[in-house]
Amino acid sequence: MALFPYVLVIVIFGIANLWTLGVDIPAALARTTIEIPWPWLHEALLDPNGQTQSSTVYSFDWLASPGTLLLISGLIVALVYSRFDDRGRYPLTMGGAMQEMWLTAKRMKSAALTILGVLALAYVMNFSGQTISIGTWLAATGAFFAFLSPVLGWIGTAVTGSDTSANALFAKLQETAGQAAGLDPKLMVAANTGGGVMGKLISPQNLAIAAAAVNMSGQESVLFRKVFGWSVALLLALCVIVFLQSTPVLSWMIP
Provide the residue ranges of all domains of the chain, joining segments of one domain with +: 109-255
Condensed to tens digits (0 to 9), the pLDDT of residues 203-233 reads 877 887 777 767 777 788 888 899 999 999 9
Distances (CA, A) of 37 to 56, 95, 112, 127: 6, 37, 22, 16
Q: What is the SS3 assignment for 35?
A: strand
Task: Name the average pLDDT for the chain.
Answer: 86
Measured distance CA(161)–CA(147) in Å, rounded? 22
**Is this model's pTM higher than 0.85 or not?**
no
Q: What is the SS3 assignment for 160?
A: helix
Using the 8-state DSSP alphabet, how is residue 51 labeled?
A: P
Q: What does pLDDT average to in each consecutive run of 10 residues of the chain (255 residues)?
A: 92 94 91 92 81 84 92 91 70 82 81 76 82 82 90 85 82 89 92 92 80 75 91 95 94 88
Q: What is the SS3 assignment for 216?
A: coil
Using the 8-state DSSP alphabet, how is residue 46 labeled?
A: B
pLDDT of residue 31: 92
pLDDT of residue 46: 82
The 3-class SS string of 120-137 reads: HHHHHHHHHCHHHHHHHH
Do 165 and 200 contact (CB within 8 A), yes or no? no
Do 163 and 196 contact (CB within 8 A), yes or no? yes
CA angle centred on 86, ends 81 and 91, rounded to 5°? 50
